[in-house]
Amino acid sequence: MAINHTTPRWQGYLAAFTVVCCWTGFNIVSRLGGKSVLTPFDVAALRFLVSGIVMVPVFFIFGNQLKKRQLLTIGTVGGFGYALCAYSGFMFAPAAHAGIIINGGIPLATAGIAWIFLKDKPKPLSLFALCLAALGVAIISLHSLNTHSIDTPHVIWGDIFFILAALAWSTFGILVRIWHIRPVDAMSGIGVTSLLIYIPIYLLFLPKGIQDASLSTIVLQGFYQGIIAALVAGFFYTFATLVLGSGAASLTLAIVPGTSAILAVPFLNEAITWTTGAGVVLVSIGALLGVRAKKEKASSA
């Protein structure tokens, strides 16, 4: 799909809406996997088996430009490292927590990493936006410390895994920026590297529950995680960014926590508590203010 200055903006908005659906569905489907007999290692294996096989011809046809060290790094932080942390979190915590902590934590962690290692200090409005997002994440996490129920035991462990997932994906994003990684190289690199490294380790050493899972569960997780989450969401986010700009495209981060919390009610029977609602509002406002700050910075440049 060619992208140029004449590409209609409605296509960019349609791509952004697709990303919102993909990210929201990821939280719902992953929580279903976390509540099933599948282990986090099973779900990650399904993700990288499917996406890796699909990306093998792309890897060789387009000639991935990344060095071996770079492939290993992005495969670890943006591939099975991120996936294992996220899927482990869904074993313990509700989908709404993932929407808030992962999607709200990614811009927060990215700004922190860029500030520390790239000396990219955020402007006052950006810093205020990040504080709001951090407060939303903190409310959810502190509430989890006092949550003890039969349905969601040890919720705080899920939140910790979600925080690690946000850190892993943020690190990947920073590396994309530093190394100027093409989207096709990133997707094919993560898919193939994770396939070659993670799948053998999974088959030989990691605990499995996939033998007890139903065919429908395996198909759902394999298709959604391997195709929709790993490949489709990445492609359409890149497309939206190129057409609309990074500021408008990143508005998707402000929508996902709310949509995840709302859809978790009918699909997962997970009620929206006052802490979840407060976290959604704070993270959403923080993300929207962050986008506004980026637009002001871009217009003044």
Higher pLDDT, 276 or 203: 203
264-285 pLDDT, tens digit per residue, is 888 888 888 888 888 888 887 8
Percent of the chain topping pLDDT 90: 37
- Give the residue among 241, 216, 211, 189 at the shortest CA–CA distance from 51: 189
32-89 pLDDT, tens digit per residue, is 999 999 999 999 999 999 999 999 999 998 889 999 999 999 999 999 999 999 999 9
**Does 226 have pLDDT greater than 50?**
yes
Instruction: Give the span between the Cα atoms of 130 and 290, in whole angstroms.
Output: 7
146-187 pLDDT, tens digit per residue, is 655 445 557 888 889 999 998 998 888 888 878 888 888 989
Phi, psi of 186 (to 5 degrees): -65, -50
Please report the pLDDT score of residue 33 as a whole number: 93
Please report the pLDDT score of residue 94 as a whole number: 83
Looking up tokens 């046809």 gives 61
Phi, psi of 271 (to 5 degrees): -70, 150
The pTM score is 0.83
**Does 191 have pLDDT greater than 60?**
yes
Q: Residue 190, Cβ neighbours under 10 Å: how many?
A: 28
Please report the pLDDT score of residue 77 as a whole number: 93
Element (H, E) at 21: helix 9-34
Instruction: Give the span between the Cα atoms of 85 and 159, in whole angstroms.
Output: 10
Higher pLDDT, 222 or 259: 222
For residue 88, what is the DSSP state? H
Q: What 3-state DSSP class applies to 112?
A: helix
Please report the pLDDT score of residue 150 as a whole number: 47
